[in-house]
Homo-oligomer: A and B are copies of this chain.
Amino acid sequence: MKRVLDRNQDKAEQIRSLLKDRHVRMYNLISSPGAGKTTLLEQTCRHLGGSLKVGIIEGDVYTDRDAQRLKQYGFPIVLINTEGGCHLDSNSIDGALKEFDLDEMDLLFVENVGNLVCPSHFDLGETAKIAVVSTSEGDDKPIKYPMLFRDARVVVLNKMDLLEYTNFNYDAFVKDLRQVNPNVPLFETSLTRGEGLDGWYRWLEGETNA
């Protein structure tokens, strides 16, 4: 296991260096199944349409369901099926990157396999990890899955529109999140409605112009 992680890390560092050379930022989206990664990408693609050149690496266990949802936005998409694997690794990203023209790209989004555990252990060479979590999953996720929430550069708390129908304790969530990651930006969204995304767009644009 240690050897697998070391090899993954070496390749990730090469990718990070390549992306830096080409001025491409890569965001690794990680969440539970169904928390809203694909919907976040749909909204973001719609918003960024004219202004930035975007690519998507879509990780999925077997199907192309999410890639199908995203192809209408006209950005290049590379699908990686893990064939039973529970996370992407830097080797598969390395292969996918060869399919893009990196000189014609500003942002690359990686939608990881829906899983809060292993995707946090495997560095893909990303600029930043983005954690997506939803109110309907319960407020205990930052404490139960601290690896992701500690490493995330942004946390999106989705399904705010469902909050009132659940037993999600918002104060407990924020307290636990701040315990593992005191200063991470937290954006509260209702993604199927396209609500709460202004902060996320501003963050993305700020990073892109940084």
> Which A residues are closer than 8 A to B by beta carbons?
32-35, 60-63, 65, 84-86, 113-118, 121, 134, 136-138, 140-141, 143-147, 159, 161-162, 165-167, 192
- Some 12 contacts from A to B, beta carbons below 8 A apart, are A32-B137, A33-B138, A34-B136, A34-B141, A63-B144, A65-B140, A86-B115, A114-B116, A115-B115, A115-B116, A136-B136, A136-B162
Please indicate the chain B residues that have their CB under 8 angstroms from the CB of A113 in the complex: 117
Please indicate the chain B residues that have their CB under 8 angstroms from the CB of A141 in the complex: 33-34
Total copies of this chain within the assembly: 2
- Give complex CA distance A166, B117 in Å: 26
**CB pair B159 A121 closer than 8 Å:** no
- Give complex CA distance A85, B86 in Å: 11
Minimum CB–CB distance from A84 to chain B (whole Å) comes to 7
**CB pair A63 B143 closer than 8 Å:** yes
Cross-interface CB contact of A146 among B62, B145, B159, cutoff 8 Å: B62
